Amino acid sequence: MKRFFTLLLLIFMSSAVTLPNTMLAHSHYKSSTPADGDVLEETITEITITFDGAIGTGDVTVTDEKTDETMPVNSVVTEGSSMTATLEKPLPSGNYHVTWKNVGDDTHAIEGEFSFEVAANDAVENEAAAEEAAKKESEKQQTENKPETEKQETSSNTILTTSVIGALIFIGALLLFAILRKRK
């Protein structure tokens, strides 16, 4: 019986070493553009949030702090350890509050928030709006001219991998127990 527990302990320790480190870590907020407390002199159309680990999915909400109006977000794209929210139109001067949520590759959901200010003058805002409109029109024409062939994969096989490894370890331990029991 002592040999069984020693063997079981060795199996457990070796499985703990071989499990992916990503299973044990969460993806935490690292930085953002704009950063918390930034005062921007130009309007923006993108907000990027970076994490210290890979993320699977994410969501971003931008709220005007004065009017409590939620600013329209066209898309939130996650890639590696960052997510980028593309706004429908450039943010006018004002104070904004960003709330974000993500599910890391380790399947744990985390959320956070930060604020920043846009202090652009009207000329800068109008120029940015005109540039953004021209950019959107150009992107629209390019999209219409080529078929959609790329899709982003946001799901993770981490849970499946962990479950399979855990099941194999459990079955191995049961078989070992049965073999050792028959020998006696």
**pLDDT over 50 (residue 152):** no
The rounded mean pLDDT for the chain is: 78
Residue of higher predicted confidence among 148 and 32? 32
> What CATH number did the domain enclosing 25 receive?
2.60.40.1220
Bridge partners for 57 per DSSP: 103
pLDDT tens for 155-171 read: 344 566 777 788 888 88
Is residue 79 in a domain? yes
pLDDT interval class at 149 (50, 70, 90): very low
Is residue 94 in a domain? yes
pLDDT interval class at 126 (50, 70, 90): low
Is residue 149 in a domain? no
Is residue 32 in a domain? yes
Is residue 100 in a domain? yes
Is residue 148 in a domain? no
Bridge partners for 62 per DSSP: 71, 98
Is residue 46 in a domain? yes
pLDDT computed for residue 89 by the predictor: 94
Number of domains in the chain: 1
Q: Domain of residue 37: give its range.
A: 2-143+154-183
Supply the angle between the helices 158-183 and 2-18 in degrees, to the nearest 10.
160
- Exposure class string for 39-60: b at 16+ Cβ within 10 A, else e: eeeebbbebebbbebbbbebeb
Residue of higher predicted confidence among 155 and 3? 3
